[in-house]
Amino acid sequence: LLIVCWILLFVLCSVIYALRIYYRESLRHCVKRAIRQSAIDVHFQPIVPINGRGKYAMEALIRWHSPYHGNVSPPFIVEMSEKLGLIDELTWMVIRKVGFFYRAYPKQLSGISISVNVDRHSLLKQEFAGTLAHILTEYPELKGRLALEVTETSVLNAIDLPVMVSRFEHIKALGVGLSVDDFGTGYAGLDFLRRFPYDTLKLDQVFIGSLQDDQFTRQILTSMTKLAKELNMELVAEGVEREDQLEAVRALGVDRVQGYYFCRPLPEQDVIVWLEQNMIQ
Ligand code: C2E
Ligand code: MG
Ligand code: MG
Ligand code: MG
């Protein structure tokens, strides 16, 4: 009986293992098809000037509902795309959709810049700026309004910093903005900020959560804010969910705020309605 039990257990484990592989494979296949068919949605989350007046911006965030796998998280889609060699296609797809969005709502979106997250694997490619320039001629409405978000850690971990700096300068020369995303998680120093031509620093949301009750966090954020100001960068706080957090980042001197407190990421038409109802110009 014991042997039979062992065999059964073994068969069961093998079946589960095979199913998991099958699930992952089918997910890969679906991600691939979704990117190829531009079937991944892009939602937009407003970035609000803290004093109500001033420049509004938005961040483009991918959303994908698979008929077989349900909602698939953005980081997972990004990871899959990297493994499938489709990460560039994903980036270009999102940027084109942003261009299309500007084209569809020229009046409502005039003066609003939109940022797109870019994976470091894409940035490191030599042809990155060239392709970007090509898309800007395809969608001239992106000029002066598109910004790219690059995480702090992805730049810190880059092997060839001078190459990265020249890539960034090339991108800036095209009139495209650059933001440091998830700032504070990678412990970048002054040198990092001085060498790269960034316009915006986005404080990671992990800090916002502990800003009020942790004096150490407050001290770090205060010196980061000073640094950003000295280097003429805009400071954005990510992940502000409550009024008290808004007040805390206001005290810090943040310029703009992004978070559920104001608005969740929304589909195109809904975010247009949000802007019409909430934007003070
Ligand atoms: P991220 O760039 O740091 O984006 C901010 C994330 O915080 C988004 O998660 C957003 O929905 C979420 N968020 C905004 N406000 C709040 C808040 O008040 N509270 C909380 N708890 N969360 C808030 P999302 O959309 O799930 O995206 C996760 C990450 O996936 C992004 O982090 C980004 O790194 C990556 N990602 C999303 N879209 C793209 C894309 O098109 N390309 C690439 N390469 N990465 C993307
Ligand atoms: Mg981002
Ligand atoms: Mg972030
Ligand atoms: Mg993040």
- For residue 186, pLDDT over 80 is answered with no
- Ligand 1 atom with least separation from CA of 182: 3
Q: Whose CA is nearest to atom 38 of ligand 1?
A: 61
* Structure confidence by residue, pLDDT tens digits, 133-171: 999 999 999 999 999 999 887 777 766 778 888 889 999
Q: Which ligand has the nearest atom to the CA of 47?
A: 1
List, for residues 65-118, the tens digit of each pLDDT value. 988 889 999 999 999 999 989 999 999 999 999 999 999 999 999 999 999 999
Measured between alpha carbons, how far is 246 from 254 in angstroms, rounded to an integer?
Answer: 10
Residues with CB under 6 A from ligand 1: 45, 61-62, 74-75, 78, 94, 117-119, 149, 181-182, 205, 238-241, 258-260, 265
Q: What is the per-residue pLDDT for 158? A: 67
The tokens describing 155, both together, are: 């730049």
Which residue has a Cα nearest atom 25 of ligand 1?
61
Query: Of ligand 1's atoms, which has the minimum distance to the CA of residue 204?
Result: 3
* Contact yes or no for 221/239 (Cβ under 8 A): no
Nearest CA to ligand 1 atom 13: 239
Specify the pTM.
Answer: 0.93
Looking at residue 159, its pLDDT comes to 67
pLDDT tens string 239-256: 999 999 999 999 999 999
Number of H helices, E strands in the chain: 12, 9
47: left (phi over 0), alpha (psi -120 to 50) or beta: beta
